[in-house]
Amino acid sequence: MKFVKIALLILITAFFFVAADRLLMPKYMSQSHEGRLTREYYSSEKNHSVIFIGDCEAHENISPAELWRTYGITSYIRGGAQQLIWHSYYLLEDTLRYETPDVVVLSVMAMQYGEPRGEEYNRLNLEGMRFSPTKIRAVRASVLPEEDTLSYFLPILRYHERWKELNRDDFNYFFRRKNVAHNGYMMRSGVMAVDFENFIPGRRLADYSLPDICWEYLDKARELCAEKGIELVLVKAPTIYPYWYREWDDQIAAYADRHGLLYVNLLELADEAGIDYSIHSYNAGFHFNVQGAETIARFFGGILTDNFNLPDMRGDDQTAAVWERKLEAYDAMKAAQEREIAETGRIRTLTY
Amino acid sequence: MNFASYGFAAFLAVTVVLYYSVLRRFQWQLLLAASVVFYAFSGWGNLVFISVTVVTTYITGVKIQGIPKTGENKPKRRRLLICCMVLNFGILAVVKFLDAAAPNFVLTLGISFYTFQTMGYIIDCYRGKEAERRFFRFALFAMFFPQLIQGPISRHGDLSATLYGPHKFNPQNFAEGATRVLWGFFKKLVIADRLLPAVGTLTEDPQAFGGVYVLLAIFLYAITLYADFTGGIDITIGIARGLGIRVKENFDMPFYSKNIAEYWRRWHITMGTWFKDYLFYPISTSKPMLRFMKFVKRTCGDYAGRRAPVYACTLILWFLTGLWHGMTWNFVAWGLANGIAIIISQELTPLYNRFHRRFGLKGTRGWNAFEVFRMFWIMNFIRSFDIYEGVGETFKAWGSIVARPNISGFSLLGLGPDTADYVVAAIGVAMMILTGVVMRRMKTKEIPPFRHFAICAGLAFVIVVFGAYGFGYDATSFIYNQF
Q: Which residues of B touch A13 (CB under 8 A)?
A: 457, 460-461
Helices H / strands E in chain B, number of each: 22, 0
Report the pLDDT value the prediction gives residue B445, as an integer from 0 to 100. Answer: 59
The pLDDT tens digits of the residues spanning A300-347 come to 999 999 999 999 999 999 999 999 999 999 999 999 999 988 888 777
Neighbours of A69 (CB within 10 A): 19
B239/B231 Cα distance (integer angstroms): 12
**Which of B6, B461, B466 comes nearest A150 by C-beta?**
B6
Tens-place pLDDT, residues B267-321: 999 999 999 999 888 888 888 888 888 888 888 888 888 888 889 999 999 999 8
Containing B37, the helix (H) or strand (E) segment is: helix B27-40
Task: Compute the nearest-CA separation of A135 from chain B (Å).
Answer: 19
Chain A residues lying within 8 Å of B464, measured CB to CB: 17, 20, 156-157, 160
pLDDT in tens, B318-374: 999 898 888 889 999 999 999 999 999 988 988 988 988 888 888 888 989 999 999
**Once rounded to an integer, what is the mean pLDDT over residues B465-473?**
80
pLDDT of residue B475: 47
Contact check, Cβ <8 Å, B471/A12:
no
Q: How confident is the model at residue A341, as a pLDDT?
A: 87
Q: Do residue B472 and residue A12 have CB atoms under 8 angstroms apart? A: no
Distance (Å, whole) CA B384 – CA B214: 9
Beta carbons of B470 and A164 less than 8 Å apart: no
B4 vs B444 pLDDT, higher one: B4
More confident of the two residues B71 and B18: B18
Rounded to a whole number of angstroms, the distance from the CA of A169 to the nearest CA of chain B is 19
Segments of B198-314 assigned E as strands: none
pLDDT of residue B103: 63
pLDDT at B107 over 70: no
Q: Do A148 and B6 touch (CB under 8 A)?
A: yes
What percent of chain B has a predicted confidence (pLDDT) above 70? 95
Please count the helices (runs of H) and the strands (runs of E) in chain A: 14, 5
Q: Over 70: is that where the pLDDT of A6 sits?
A: yes
Residue B228's Cβ-count burial label (10 Å; 0-12, 13-18, 19+) is buried
Residue of chain A nearest B456, judged by CA positions: A13
If you measure CA to CA, which chain A residue comes closest to B419? A164
Residue of A nearest to B457 (CA): A13
The predicted pLDDT at position B424 comes to 95
Torsions phi, psi of A53, nearest 5?
A: -135, 140
What pLDDT does residue B404 have?
85
Question: Over pLDDT 90: what percentage of chain B?
Answer: 54
Out of A2, A158, A164, the one facing B420 most closely (by C-beta) is A164
CA distance A158 to chain B (A): 6
User: How large is the ipTM?
Assistant: 0.82
CA distances from A67 to A104, A262, A298, B330 (A): 15, 19, 6, 73
Question: What CA–CA distance (Å, rounded) separates B47 from B37?
Answer: 10
Mean pLDDT of B15-26: 92
In this complex, which of A9, A20, A147 lies closest to B465 when CB atoms are compared? A20
Is the Cβ pair B457, A13 closer than 8 Å?
A: yes
Query: How much helix, strand and coil, in percent to the nearest 5, is found in chain B?
Result: 75, 0, 25
Nearest CA in chain A to B5: A148
Sign of CA dihedral B231, B232, B237, B239: positive
Contacts A–B by Cβ distance under 8 A: 47
> To the nearest whole angstrom, how far is the Cα of A257 from the nearest Cα of chain B?
44
Q: Shortest CB distance from A160 goes to which of B418, B457, B470?
A: B470
Residue with the bigger pLDDT between B185 and B66: it is B185
Phi-psi region at B376: left, alpha or beta (left = phi > 0; alpha = psi -120 to 50): alpha
Nearest CA in chain B to A4: B450
A236 forms bridges with which residues in the sheet? A265
Name the residue among B209, B238, B168, B181 with its Cα closest to residue B21.
Answer: B168
Q: A169 pLDDT exceeds 80?
A: yes
Alpha helices in B41-73 (DSSP H): 44-66
Span A177-188, pLDDT tens digits: 788 899 999 999
Closest chain B C-alpha to A90 CA, distance in angstroms: 24
Whether the pLDDT of residue B110 is over 70: the answer is yes
**Residues A188, A337: contact at Cβ < 8 Å?**
yes
The pLDDT value recorded for residue B477 is: 56
Q: Greater confidence, A33 or A48?
A: A48
Would strands A262-265 and A231-236 be described as parallel, antiparallel, or unpaired?
parallel
Which has more confidence, B68 or B481? B68
Res B34 pLDDT > 80: yes
For B361, half-sphere exposure in the C-beta direction (CA atoms, 13 angstrom radius) is 13
Q: How far is B173 from chain A (nearest CA, A)?
A: 17
Assess whether pLDDT exceeds 50 at residue B148: yes
Among the listed ranges A51-60, A217-226, B110-119, B401-410, which one has the minimum average pLDDT value?
B401-410
Higher pLDDT, B448 or A299: A299
Residues B233 and B229: their CA atoms lie apart, in Å, by 6
Question: Does residue B406 have a pLDDT over 90?
Answer: no
Q: Do A151 and B457 touch (CB under 8 A)?
A: no
Residues of B in contact with A5 (CB under 8 A): 450
Cβ of B418 and A160 within 8 Å? Answer: no
CB contact (8 A) between residue B453 and residue A9: yes
What pLDDT does B444 receive?
55
Residues of A in contact with B474 (CB under 8 A): none
pTM of the shown model: 0.86
Kindly report each contact of residues B370-375 with a partner whose C-beta sits within 8 Å and lies 24 or more positions away, as own/partner.
B371/B258, B371/B259, B372/B255, B372/B256, B372/B257, B372/B258, B375/B255, B375/B257, B375/B258, B375/B259, B375/B260, B375/B262, B375/B263
Contact B153, B117 (CB under 8 A): yes
Could you give the CA distance from residue B320 to residue B272 in angstroms, rounded to a whole number? Answer: 12
Interface test with A, best of B450, B464, B466, B473 (most A CBs within 10 A): B464
Q: Decide if B246 contacts B161 (C-beta within 8 A).
A: yes
Q: Which residues of A touch B (CB under 8 A)?
A: 2, 5-6, 9, 12-13, 16-17, 20, 24, 119, 146-148, 150-151, 156-158, 160-161, 163-164
pLDDT of residue B403: 87
Kindly tell me if the per-residue pLDDT of B165 is higher than 90: no
Tens digits of residue pLDDT in B184-216: 999 999 999 999 999 999 998 888 888 899 999
- Chain A residues within 8 A of B419 when measuring between CB atoms: none
Interface contact flag, A148 B470, Cβ < 8 Å = yes
Mean of pLDDT over chain B: 88
Q: Supply the pLDDT for residue B470.
A: 79
Cβ distance B464 to A13 less than 8 Å, yes or no, reads no
Cβ neighbourhood burial of B413 (10 Å; 0-12, 13-18, 19+): exposed
| pLDDT, mean of residues B410-420 | 86
Query: For all residues of chain A together, what is the average pLDDT?
Result: 92
> Are A9 and B467 inside 8 Å of each other by CB?
no
Using a CB-CB cut-off of 8 Å, the residues of chain A touching B424 are: none
Which chain B residue has the Cα nearest residue A25? B465
The answer to whether the bond into A242 is cis (omega within 30° of 0) is yes
pLDDT above 90: percentage of residues in chain A: 73
Beta carbons within 8 Å of B434's beta carbon, 6+ residues apart:
none
Q: Looking at the DSSP assignment, which residues form a beta bridge with residue A52? A: A77, A105
- What's the average model confidence in pLDDT over B68-90? 88
Helices B111-126 + B135-143 axis angle, to 10? 130
Our CA-based measurement puts residue A34 at a distance from the nearest CA of chain B, in whole angstroms, of 21
